[in-house]
Amino acid sequence: MVNLVADRDIAEAAHALDEQMWRLHLKIKRGLTPQEDWLELRSAVVSAENTFVTVARRHLSLAGDPLRRFSGRPAPDDPIWTS
C-alpha cells in the first residue's frame, strides 16, 4: 500500500502504481499458470513505475534532465532471463 502526501498528479500516479502491484501480487498469490508470461504480467507494473517517475520528476525537478532508464533491472531481452 502506498500512502503519500504530494501534489495530486504525483499521488494519483502513486496510486496507479500501487494498484498494478496489487494486481500482480494477487495473480502470484493464486499461482501462475504455465501460459502466463512473467515479463508480460510485470509490464503493467513497469509502465506504472515509469509514469510515476516521470510525473514526480516533472513536478519536483523541473530543471533535471530526463532519465534514459527508470530502473537498473535488465531489459526483457537480456540473456540473464534465459540463462
Contact indicator for 78, 69 with CB cutoff of 8 Å: no
The string of DSSP letters for 49-73 reads HHHHHHHHHHHH-TTSPPPS-S--P
How would residue 69 be classed by pLDDT, with cut points 50, 70 and 90?
Answer: low
The verdict on pTM exceeding 0.85 is no
Asked if the structure places residue 24 within a domain, the reply is yes
Asked if the structure places residue 75 within a domain, the reply is no
Count of structural domains, the chain: 1
**71 vs 58, which has greater pLDDT?**
58
Separation between Cα atoms, residue 82 and residue 65, nearest integer Å: 33
Q: Would you call 19 exposed, middle or buried from its count of C-beta atoms within 10 A (0-12, 13-18, 19+)? A: middle
Asked if the structure places residue 74 within a domain, the reply is no
Asked if the structure places residue 3 within a domain, the reply is no
Separation between Cα atoms, residue 24 and residue 46, nearest integer Å: 11
Residue 29 lies in domain: 10-65
Asked if the structure places residue 55 within a domain, the reply is yes
